[in-house]
Structure 1
């Protein structure tokens, strides 16, 4: 690609580097919801939005929103974006690429905004990862009118409630309903790194997302009996051994049923080197292509864990923390994205564009409650994400920006032709 074609992509990557320096960690990247780093990153992104011609505001949930009016004020909005929060020790492109590519596209189309049959908005969701309060999609759930009052009592690792965090961030919990955009959003488009190796395996930069996996998260606590290490084996009720056995059983069962299960955290008490563990708590993240497949896998896993508990004289306590239904991306948007990708020369040798199912969750899952959603995947090196080694190429980012611009243009043509005022 020429320097002119890649100029926007080069600037985007530079901006990713700039945001990567905004972190609560001395080494590595971490930006969590309603933190000073959240405020700083959104302030920088707000400057870029304003430079692109957007009118910028913060909504009642702490999301950053920039609006470009169409041919008349107050039209429904085509929403573009993703999130700027991160997991601990994050990479610099997950979520961020989607927000910055949207800003790049708006800057390109701003001069012809008066011809658009809809407004265009860029949104940087404040919390997709759920790192701070343990429940994901808080920002996009507010936009979708799906906020739950019980969330106000969620606490972070320092015991700060979500309600207290809102107030410290100068947000009013009583006004959370004002973030609801139901009836105001025409459609939502999200560009995101794949977080998997399929595009790399196909040697293609971009793909169309067909849907997003159903998910459940929970903590599982095995209760046994803490005793001195002199206790004979036949009298032990070792919670850690039960939990360790459970981790292997979880993987085996999920793989056999085509689901994806991950145990990412385990805590043991009392934690002394010469004491048999009395409790062991592990996290479980379970995903599958459909709700039914997810729930069938969970039922099979729980049956396996019940057997382990019986054999070891343990009891199991379960606490559900997150449930999300599978989401299908809109067929019309899938076609528009696929045609846009092909039009910028990124189809395969047969002219086809890959269609990929997303195991990872995204803000599109929440926004789907109020509007059609479409997603584009961008190749990432080795399929690595949620890690400092996350990487994309300049040419792939340039192609992603071009494809998003053409998708917006295609939707504008379709909307204009279907509008009563066009006849």
Structure 2
């Protein structure tokens, strides 16, 4: 397919543009959290680009931006393509955003040819995948899949703003969240393109990879509660200090995932990404310490065994030190195999670009694992320099992005060649 624009390379350039204010909340780093002014600026520009590419664009009830390129028959089921537009704090420019920009490029390729397929194609920019503002992630894709719990509206951010309040301030109605759910048959497949966030493709000299499955994960919050006191007048032996307990617990998590019986099994990893001492003063023994735990593995069984082992150690630490402790589950996502039929089509489209269709699992979570509850899914990985992600050093090349876009176009064409009723294998 001959393009009148730099398909793929333009997607990268658009990500670079959105790496700074007003598309970031800060001048010195990229941070674009859900329902902020930076998120609004990104949506406004994406809407313009979608419409320029031949789509009609709308903001759904969950804050996702959806652009639709109608099929030959109005109202036909849609192939959904996209990713998320939010970022972590001090993140990279391509995580999530590149998949959104590539979706727009792919649809514009068909628009420029004046081609209408027997199905519609929709681009989607999910509003919140990272969970960088509110504790649980992927609320927006859950809303589309019809699996969101309306109680998520009770979640609060670090400033104490509830999700319901943030919705209202953004001009969205928090009571209508579930209206973002797509009806059965309305969307028949989902394709997500994403940087690999790992070193495998680069190590093997490959631009593209095809995801076989997405790892299971759990997010938990741990809170040790002791007794606040003066840092200079409370003898060490009389303290109920949750700080050292938290330190022990963090090391216990590392030990279980790195050295214990489960270490090396199913890609098991554990991370503490946030730790807070309260009240947080230099001269006060904290009354409480809380921290996050993110535990992942390729199977739910291994993940759950690790959670159980770490929790047992945490409870033992609390008992030994005379502290109260709570371990609260914030989010649980099961492993998500990609659909075999769609994966075969995507692999063939990648092979058409001249390289082997390397299949590999994803240790990172993605919206695709949630959308799998709505329809069959497939994922394309794009090589990133050094496997670096969630870091401003994220880097991709124009040529790799161009190959990704061409493979995605090829995937759509292969899907269209299946006939008027697209079908996929069971996943």
Under TM normalisation by the shorter chain, which class is it?
over 0.9
Distance 1:5 1:297 in 2: 52
Q: Which residue does 1:205 correspond to in 2?
A: 207
Q: How does 1:83-232 map to 2 (within 5 A)?
A: 83-111=84-112, 114-183=115-184, 184-228=186-230, 229=232, 231-232=234-235
Contact persistence 1:69–1:113 (CA under 8 A): no
Residue 280 (structure 2) pairs with residue 280 (structure 1): no
Among 292, 315, 319, the residue aligned to 2:324: 315
How does the TM-score come out when normalised to structure 1?
0.92
Among 378, 386, 392, the residue aligned to 1:388: 392
Q: Which residues of structure 2 form unaligned runs of 5+?
A: none
| Structure ranking higher in helix proportion | 1
Deviations 1:217-238 (A, max 9, x none): 1110112333445555444433
Q: Which residues of structure 1 form unaligned runs of 5+?
A: 348-352
Q: Which residue does 2:9 correspond to in 1?
A: 10
Q: Which residue does 1:324 correspond to in 2?
A: 333
Residue 247 (structure 2) pairs with residue 244 (structure 1): yes
Q: Which residue does 2:78 correspond to in 1?
A: 77
Q: Which residue does 2:57 correspond to in 1?
A: 56
User: How many positions carry a matched residue from both structures?
Assistant: 412
Among 307, 315, 339, the residue aligned to 1:306: 315
Contact persistence 2:311–2:327 (CA under 8 A): no
Q: In structure 2, do the counterparts of structure 1 residues 74 and 303 end up closer, same or farther at CA, with 3 Å as the change threshold?
A: same
Deviation of 1:12 after TM superposition, in Å, equals 1.7
Deviation of 1:363 after TM superposition, in Å, equals 0.8
Alignment root-mean-square deviation, CA? 2.0
Deviations 1:316-338 (A, max 9, x none): 11222111121111011111111
How does the TM-score come out when normalised to structure 2?
0.91
Contact persistence 2:252–2:313 (CA under 8 A): yes
Among 352, 359, 363, the residue aligned to 1:355: 359
Distance 1:199 1:356 in 2: 9
Distance 1:414 1:5 in 2: 27
